[in-house]
Amino acid sequence: MYARDLTVDADLEPVVAGTEGVTASFIKEMIRRTVLASLQAGERPPVLRGPHFAGVLAEMNSEHQALTRSLLGAGAEGPARKPGRPPRPAS
């Protein structure tokens, strides 16, 4: 929904796995930051690529983004994990 008018050239399976349990607000912010990453890479119009998503998710899940995650509904610890499932490695 938030990327409907954007070009996405990425395998979205890792993105979906990395955002399990988050709110729409978190997804919207992730897309916004991914667009900015694409623009900063000099892509005009922006093309959302795997490395852009990976970098944004790593940043949003970093320790210094705990308040942002909490405000966006992802919890201070990041995207929800099912019990017994190990944490996802940072890409």
Domain membership of residue 16 as a residue range = 7-72
Compute the residue count for the chain.
91
Q: Please, which pLDDT band fits residue 87 given cuts at 50, 70 and 90?
A: low
In the predicted structure, residue 86 carries a pLDDT above the cut 70: no
Residue 82 lies in a domain: no
**Site of tokens 């201070």:** 76
Residue 23 lies in a domain: yes
The tens digit of pLDDT for each residue in 25-46 reads 999 999 999 999 999 999 999 9
Instruction: Identify whether the C-beta of residue 26 lies closer than 8 Å to the C-beta of residue 69.
Output: yes
Which residues fall within 8 angstroms of residue 50, CB to CB, at 6 or more apart? 9, 10, 11, 14
Peptide bond preceding 45: is omega within 30 degrees of 0, i.e. cis? yes
Residue 77 lies in a domain: no
Total structural domains within the chain: 1
Residue 91 lies in a domain: no
The tens digit of pLDDT for each residue in 46-81 reads 999 999 999 999 999 999 999 999 999 887 677 765
- Global pTM? 0.81
